[in-house]
Structure 1
Amino acid sequence: MKKIALCLGVALVFSSVAFANGPKWDYEGKNSPQNWGKISKDFDTCSLGKSQSPVNITNFTETKMPYKIIFSYKAFPKLEVDDGRTIRVEYNKDAYVSIDGHRYYLTQFHFHSPAENLLKNKQYPLEMHLVHQDKDGHLLVVAIWFKEGKDNKILDPVWKAMPQKVGEKIKVSNVDLGKLIPKKLDFFHYDGSLTTPPCTEGVSWFILKEPLEVSKDQIKKIQQTLKESNNRPVQPLNNRKVELYIQQ
């Protein structure tokens, strides 16, 4: 198995909002992304790190998929949360991605609007991050871009149950993620970081090449719920390689 970047910060994120009860950060004002590294020593990597996410994918090397990737998303989520910075849907350790037989368990997925990672300067209106962790704490994020189009029926239960108050938690169980993942999987891959403080590096990113669709109303609802854009600006690549894995 080709080596995948490993996360050194084992237990730093089971949600998109690490340090939720610690130093305060935001997407606007004095605690906005350009100042994250100044808020706390715990966030130093946000400004000092050399392998930060998100990125603008402008150049990449195309290669045959080096892994056997299997998505086992048969399990249903347990909880949907408005944590004040995103809408997060949490899982028990029953859903996973297997890469050459090595399992990364889905802990949660959440949304950023507009998208965080860019493709040749193009920014999609919505990006979904599926956060996985293996038994040793190594992190892998599968990211999916969404363009405006048809109503996304698979994610519709998330939208219908979407909490409208910060801190509100709602049970949601009928989300069939297995139907969301296309049969033909081409991915951009790069080694990066969390896109929220403490910006821990060593996170392996797999971004689905082709965007899926959500409706204009679905985009509008999540933006109204978030009340502000929750995307971190793109970070320098610093000579990192981006590869496009093509499934044959």
Structure 2
Amino acid sequence: MPAKLTPLVFDYHPGASQVVDNGHTVQVLVGPGNYLIADGDKYQLIQFHFHHPSEDAIEGKHFDMELHMVHKDADGNLALVAILLSDGKANPLVQMGWDNVPTEKEKVKTLTTPLDPKEILPATEGYYSFAGSLTTPPCTEGVRWFVMQSPLDISVHQEQSFAALYPNNSRPIQPRNGRTVEASR
């Protein structure tokens, strides 16, 4: 449903980051100082991780992969920004993550080059918003979701590299159960 949603404000900056294969996905741990502001609420970016195939669909269309940017406010409330990924051109930020995945699960590798989370954001700012839960156990409720309307490119090779580790680490789409999905105009 189209709605008058306020623009999301991404206050992201280059900084130190780490990569870990946590046994469920490839996760990039982001240093402090990166924020999402949604409706005046400020959430710090903690990490982002990947799912194959996408967990969200737009008008019934699934995408090759999905990236989840996990944010937390001062009270511990979560907000997730989902970015859909489609096969196309190689994505340099995704490649930086792939190039640094530790060979052992749960081992952390520090990136030698500062990572700028802003580089993973789509150029267009439209998004869908809904209340939901985490998609991995314990599937905590009360999460604010923002799914960006424009997908980003990743190469087929990048998708296949992740799929070799995790061929299907996605939660199926859940019933709406009366929830409203709003779309920015």
Please give the TM-score of this superposition, normalised by the length of structure 2: 0.93
Aligned residues: 184
SS in 2 for 1:224: helix
- Equivalent AA in structure 2 for residue 180 of structure 1: I
Equivalent of residue 128 in structure 2, options 176, 183, 188: 188
Correspondence 1:63-82 to 2 at 5 A: 63-64=3-4, 66-82=5-21
Cα deviations across residues 11-34 of structure 1 (Å, max 9, x unaligned)? xxxxxxxxxxxxxxxxxxxxxxxx
Residue correspondence of structure 1 range 41-56 to structure 2 within 5 A: none
One-letter code of the match for 1:103?
K
Aligned to 1:223: 163
Q: Any runs of at least 4 consecutive aligned residues in structure 1 with deviations exceeding 4 A, and if so which?
A: none
* Aligned pairs (5 A) from 1:97-108: 97-108=36-47
Q: In the TM superposition, what is the alpha-carbon distance from 1:147 to its structure 2 partner?
A: 0.4
Aligned equivalent of 1:155? 94
- Do 2:122 and 2:151's aligned partners in 1 also have CA atoms closer than 8 Å? no
SS of match in other structure, 1:111: strand
CA offsets, 1:131-165, max 9 Å, x none? 00000111000000000000112322112112233
Q: Does 1:90 align with 2:29?
A: yes
Q: How far apart in 1 are the matches of 2:123 and 2:90?
A: 20
Q: Give the structure 1 partner of residue 67 of structure 2.
A: 128
1:166 partnered with 2:105 = yes
Identify unmatched segments of 5+ residues in structure 2.
Answer: none
Q: d(CA) in 1 for partners of 2:10 and 2:94?
A: 17
Q: Cα offset for 1:96? A: 0.8
Residue 155 of structure 1 aligns to a residue in which SS? helix
What SS does structure 2 have at the residue aligned with 1:175?
coil
Map of 2:140 onto structure 1: 200
Q: Is the 8 A contact 2:128 2:148 kept in 1?
A: yes
Q: CA RMSD in A?
A: 1.5
Corresponding residue for 1:146? 85
Higher strand share: 2
Deviation at 1:183, TM superposition (A): 4.1
User: d(CA) in 2 for partners of 1:155 and 1:174?
Assistant: 14
1:113 aligns with 2:52: yes
Give the aligned partner of residue 34 of structure 1: none
- Counterpart-to-counterpart distance in 2, 1:233 and 1:218: 22
Say whether residues 1:176 and 2:116 are aligned partners.
Answer: yes
Describe the superposition over 1:188-238 as per-residue Cα deviations: whole angstroms up to 9, x where unpaired.
Answer: 111000001111110000000011100000001111122x31001111111
Given residue 231 of structure 1, which amino acid in structure 2 is its aligned partner?
S
Matched residue SS, 2:96: helix
Task: Tell me if structure 2 keeps the 8 A contact 1:125–1:146.
Answer: yes
Larger Rg computed on CA atoms: 1
Q: Is the 8 A contact 1:185 1:208 kept in 2?
A: yes
Deviation string 1:14-68 (CA, Å, 9 cap, x unpaired) is xxxxxxxxxxxxxxxxxxxxxxxxxxxxxxxxxxxxxxxxxxxxxxx1123x324
Q: Does 1:237 align with 2:176?
A: yes
Contact 2:11 2:34 in 1 (8 A): yes
Distance 1:200 1:131 in 2: 13
How far the C-alpha of 1:91 sits from its partner, in A, is: 1.8
After TM superposition, give the deviation of residue 182 of structure 1 in Å: 3.3
Superimposed CA distance per residue, residues 70-103 of structure 1 (whole angstroms, 9 cap, x where no aligned partner): 1111042421100100001112321111224431
